[in-house]
Structure 1
C-alpha cells in the first residue's frame, strides 16, 4: 500500500491507498496511530483508477510525500500487458517492417508462450488476404478478440483508450498507429507520461505512426514536456527504427485553441532517434527546428501563425535529400513571423532538394514578392504542385504570374485560395495550369493585408 506523509509545523499525518480492480481502500490519520479506513467501489476498473490517480495528485499538491509502499496491497487489476520477447525474431521485423511473414513467424512463437498477440497476428494476417464474407467474418473476430483481450494487450494503457485520450490502430498483432492527447477541458490526463508509457509498451514496439493532440486544455498548450518525454522514452530504447510518421499539434483551431497559443518549441533532439522518419508535421507557434538532418524524410509541413527567422533558416539549410513535399506556413509579423524571400532563396534554387515535387509557401505576407521571383526560380521546373494559399497575393501578383504563364504551364495543380484577389485577379490566373484553385478569396485592403492564419 503506497504511503504518503505530511509533516509541517504541528501537522504529522499519513495517507495510504490501495487499488484493486474496481475498488480502492484509503487509510489516513496522525502518524503513530492506526487511523481511519474507507473502501470505495466503482462500476469499472477504469473509473476506480481515474479516481485513484486524482486523489494521489490532490495529496501531492497539498505537500504529501511518498515514503514507502506500506504493507501489502495489489495495485492494478493483474493484467499488465507484458509480452514475451524474442530479440532474434523481433530483429527480423525491424529489418523489414513490411514483411508479413516475419510477423507470422514471430506470432507462432508468441502463441507458444501464451501471448495473445500471437493469435492476433494470425487473425490479422488472414484478414489481409481474405475477401468477401471471409474478410467480413475475420473483421468481426478481430474486433471481438481486441475487446476480450484488451487488458492483456494494453495493460495500463486501456484506461486511456477507454477515455478516448489514446486511440490506436492494430496491425499484425501490434499497435501500428497511435494518437495521444487530452479529450476536452475536463481532462486530467498527463499526456507526457502517457506518451512515455506508450513508447515503452510491448504492444507498441513496432509503432509506425504517432500523432500528438492537445497537450493541455488548461492554459497554454505547450509541447515542451511531451517532446521531452518522447525523447527520453525513445532514448531508453536506442531510438525507433519503425516510426515513420510524426504529427505534433493535431488540434482544431480556434475551437480547441488558437494556433499561436500553442508552443511546439525545440524538436531537434528527436531527429537522431528517428532515422527512418518519412513524414513530419508540426502545428503551432514558437517553432524551433535546429539543424535538420532527416535523410529518409519525404514530407515536411509546418503550420504556424508566426514562423521565427531561426526556423526559416533551418528549413532553408535542412538536409533531407529524399524530400518530395515541403509546405511552410510563414504567418503574420504580429505573431512572430520573420524572414522573407531572401531567406528562402536556397529553397527557390532547389538546393539539396532533388526530389521535391510539391512546394507550399503559404500563409505569407510577402506573397506578391514571391510572385516576382517564382517564374525564374530554379526549383519551379521540377515541381508538379505549387501552393501559395492563405497569403496576401493581390491582383498585381496575379498579373505577374499571368505574364509568365509559360513558366507554370507544366504544373499539375496551383493553389491560390484564401489570398486577396478580386474577380479580375482570379480571371488572370485561371488558366495558368490544368488545375488552378483560386476561390474563397479574402477582402483586399491595400493598406492592411495579412496572412489568413495569425492568432
Structure 2
C-alpha cells in the first residue's frame, strides 16, 4: 500500500491508499499507530481510479511525501573471491557449489538453498518433487534475506517475477502494475531495486514488460538503467514483452537507444526488441546468437545497421520491417549484406517478416548466398501474393533443403497456398489475409503496422 507521511512542527502523520478495481481503501493516523481505515466502493473502476489520483494529489499538495518501505532481515554474507569465480563462468555449477559450502559454514541460508537446488536439478520423480517443495519452503522462510521486503511485496504479481537457480536469481521479468493494481513502484524503481539486490548479482536473463499502461510506452531510460546496473553475467535480454494490441499498440512503443548495451554486455547471447524508433548505431555484439526486432515500422538507418552488424556467431536473425505508414523505409537493397551472408557464417534461422517487399524477397532469395546455409526461413506477416509464390514454385529446388518455411499471414489464395505447401518438409501456411489492393491502388499492407 503506497504510504505518504507529513512531518512538520508537532505534526507527525501518515496516510496510505490502495485500489483494487473499483474499491478504494485509505488508512491514516499518527506515525507509530495503526490509525483508522476507510473503504469506498465505486460503481465503475474508472471512478475509483479518478478518486485515487485526486486524493493523492490533494495529499501531496498539502505537503505529504511518499515514502518507501524499509528492508528488514539479516545482511547476506559475501565473499568477493568466490563470487569472482562465478562471474568468470556464470553458467557452470561448480562455482556456486563452492560458494554454497562457504555460505553454509557462515550460517547463511543461501548456502542451503544452493545445495537444495543443485540436488533438485539432479533428482527425478518423487525425489525431485519433494526437493521442489523444500526449495519453495526455504524461499518463503528466508525471503527477507533472499529477496528483501520491497521486492518480496511485488513478487508474484505482474510487477515482478523471478527464476531462482543455485541460490540466486537467474532470470527476472519486470513490468508496470496491471490496470487493476496500484503501482507502489514504477518500472524503473523496481528495476533499480532488483539490480541492486545481492540475489541478482549473477543475473543471466532479464525481460522488461510494459513500461507504461497509460501513455506512450518508452524504454530509453530503462535501457540506460540496465546498461549501468545489470551485472556482466547478463546473457539474454527482452525489451518489450507485451501483447499487441491488447496491452498497447506496437507503434506506440519506443525502444530508444540500445547502443549502451554493447559495451556493457559483450557476452550477450540473445537480444529481443519489440517496438519502434530504435537507435542502433554500429552494432557490435560478437557473442550474440539470437537477434529479434519486432516493429510496425523500421526506419532505413536501423535496417542498414542490422545488415552491417558484427555478430559472427549469430544463429538466428529475425527482423520485422513494418509499414511505410508507420515509419518503415527500408528496401530490399538495404538488406543485401544479409542475403549475401556477409559476416553471418553461423546463421541457420532467418526471418524477414512483416515486409512490404515480400514478393521482391521471393525473387531474390533463390539466388542468394544465405539460403543454402539456412535451416528455417520465415517470410510471415508480409505481402506475398500468388505472383510472388509463383516465383518460389519456379525455384522450388532452392528451398527443398529447408526444415521449415513460414508463409503465414501473407496474401495467398487457397489454391496457391496448397501448392507452396510442398516446397519443403514443413511449410507453415496458417491463416492468410485478404488482398485488398486493386488496379488503382496496388499498395499492400503488412500484418503488423500500428
User: Which of 310, 333, 354 does residue 342 from structure 1 map onto?
Assistant: 333
Instruction: Look up the match of 1:182.
Output: 176
Q: Note the C-alpha offset of 1:133.
A: 2.1
Q: 1:70-91, CA deviations, whole angstroms, 9 ceiling, x for partnerless residues?
A: xxxx9636227x4211111011
Q: Write the mapping of 1:41-56 to structure 2, written as runs, cut at 5 A.
A: none
Instruction: Look up the match of 2:195.
Output: 199
Change (3 A) 1:184 1:24: closer
Instruction: Look up the match of 1:135.
Output: 128
**Aligned counterparts of 1:117 and 1:252: Cα–Cα separation in 2:** 36
Instruction: Look up the match of 1:120.
Output: 113
Instruction: Look up the match of 1:158.
Output: 152
Q: Note the C-alpha offset of 1:242.
A: 1.5
Q: Write the mapping of 1:303-322 to structure 2, written as runs, cut at 5 A.
A: 303-322=294-313
Q: 1:317-350, CA deviations, whole angstroms, 9 ceiling, x for partnerless residues?
A: 1001100000000011111111110111111110
- Aligned residue-pair number: 417
Structure 2 contact 377–402 (Cα < 8 Å) conserved:
yes
SS of 1:307's partner is coil
SS of 1:134's partner is helix
User: Which of 426, 429, 435 does residue 444 from structure 1 map onto?
Assistant: 435
User: Which of 254, 260, 264 does residue 245 from structure 2 map onto?
Assistant: 254
Change (3 A) 1:120 1:38: closer
Q: Does 1:84 align with 2:77?
A: yes
**Aligned counterparts of 1:265 and 1:341: Cα–Cα separation in 2:** 24
Q: Note the C-alpha offset of 1:437.
A: 1.1
Q: Note the C-alpha offset of 1:409.
A: 1.2
Q: Does 1:169 align with 2:173?
A: no
Q: Write the mapping of 1:156-305 to structure 2, written as runs, cut at 5 A.
A: 156-187=150-181, 188=183, 189-234=185-230, 240-305=231-296
CA RMSD of aligned residues (A): 2.9
Structure 2 contact 29–36 (Cα < 8 Å) conserved:
no
Question: Which sections of structure 2, spanning at least 5 residues, go unmatched?
Answer: 17-25, 38-52
Q: Note the C-alpha offset of 1:101.
A: 2.3
User: Which of 35, 38, 43 does residue 40 from structure 1 map onto?
Assistant: 35
Q: Does 1:453 align with 2:448?
A: yes
**Aligned counterparts of 2:145 and 2:136: Cα–Cα separation in 1:** 15
Q: 1:122-166, CA deviations, whole angstroms, 9 ceiling, x for partnerless residues?
A: 111111112222211111111111112122211121111154411
Change (3 A) 1:233 1:14: farther
Q: Note the C-alpha offset of 1:112.
A: 2.4
**Aligned counterparts of 1:281 and 1:65: Cα–Cα separation in 2:** 41
Structure 1 contact 365–450 (Cα < 8 Å) conserved:
yes
Instruction: Look up the match of 1:31.
Output: none
SS of 2:155's partner is helix
Judge which range, 435-444 or 318-327, deviates more. Answer: 435-444
Q: Does 1:353 align with 2:353?
A: no
Q: Note the C-alpha offset of 1:254.
A: 1.1
**Aligned counterparts of 2:341 and 2:56: Cα–Cα separation in 1:** 52
Instruction: Look up the match of 2:99.
Output: 106
Change (3 A) 1:41 1:130: farther
Q: Note the C-alpha offset of 1:183.
A: 3.4
Change (3 A) 1:218 1:130: same
Change (3 A) 1:269 1:371: same
Q: Does 1:415 align with 2:374?
A: no
Question: Which sections of structure 1, spanning at least 5 residues, go unmatched?
Answer: 7-11, 28-35, 43-53, 235-239
Q: 1:400-454, CA deviations, whole angstroms, 9 ceiling, x for partnerless residues?
A: 1111111111111111010000023213312211111123110123334200011
SS of 2:77's partner is coil
Structure 1 contact 213–248 (Cα < 8 Å) conserved:
yes
**Aligned counterparts of 2:32 and 2:188: Cα–Cα separation in 1:** 33
**Aligned counterparts of 2:27 and 2:383: Cα–Cα separation in 1:** 60
Q: Does 1:379 align with 2:367?
A: no
SS of 1:315's partner is helix
Q: Note the C-alpha offset of 1:59.
A: 7.8
Q: Note the C-alpha offset of 1:201.
A: 0.8
Structure 1 contact 161–167 (Cα < 8 Å) conserved:
yes
Q: 1:2-58, CA deviations, whole angstroms, 9 ceiling, x for partnerless residues?
A: 97679xxxxx99766599xxx99865xxxxxxxx9964389xxxxxxxxxxx99975
Change (3 A) 1:434 1:353: same
Judge which range, 193-202 or 93-102, deviates more. Answer: 93-102
Change (3 A) 1:367 1:295: same
Judge which range, 224-233 or 120-129, deviates more. Answer: 224-233
SS of 2:278's partner is strand
Structure 1 contact 395–424 (Cα < 8 Å) conserved:
no
